[in-house]
Amino acid sequence: MTTTTVESETASRILDAADALFYARGIQAVGMDEIRSAAGVSLKKLYAAFPGKEQLVAAVLAGRHAVWEHGIRAAVDAADGPRAQLLAVYDFLESWFGDDTFRGCGFINAFGELGATSPAIAEIAREHKDSFQRFVAGITARAVADTGRAEELAAQLALLAEGAQTTAAIAGTTEAAVHARRAAAVLIDAAAR
């Protein structure tokens, strides 16, 4: 096994441990020593892989972004046609909200905890949300011929998804996704006329 492979495996264990702890309990509530223990690495190896907590949070969020994009794209790609693809976003959310570990959007959570004190984390959260907005806009442009209507619809649909995430985290149920999906269908149909 090469040194790079060992370092990669160590970083992966650290990221997995940090992600689980941050998501379950909050970033500020979890110390680096607790992450070290959960990952089964020395403090020296932890700091060699991630020199500071902000770098570790950024790496955790990069991993969450990749998982989010893979999941949402898979749900959308499985649907037939732009209208169904837009509604598949909310089906994906409903499935995610039903997961026992669901604690809301990790990016909203990170922004809430660190956005005021860490410009880097705030920017990562903004870019993640902007990426989702662009993704929805791309599908909406295929669903609605009128460019102005498509842009407005995309903003509305993304807002419904974001609101559903926050509501589901607080309520602890999947109902927010169901309600958001129904509202999205009304908006899509109205814009497509």
pLDDT tens track for 1-53: 565 665 789 999 999 999 999 999 999 999 999 999 999 999 999 999 999 99
CB 180 within 8 Å of CB 163:
yes
Residue spans in the chain of domains classed CATH 1.10.357.10: 53-192
Residues in the chain: 193
Across the chain, mean pLDDT equals 95
CB 46 within 8 Å of CB 39:
yes
Q: Is the pLDDT of residue 92 over 90?
A: yes
Q: Copy the structure tokens of residue 184.
A: 């999205």
Residue spans in the chain of domains classed CATH 1.10.10.60: 1-51
Q: Copy the structure tokens of residue 32.
A: 């680096």
CB 136 within 8 Å of CB 153:
no
Residue type, 113: E
CATH 1.10.10.60, domain 1-51, yes or no: yes
Q: How confident is the model at residue 193 (pLDDT cuts 50, 70, 90)?
A: confident
Q: Copy the structure tokens of residue 121.
A: 């984390």
CATH 1.10.357.10, domain 53-192, yes or no: yes
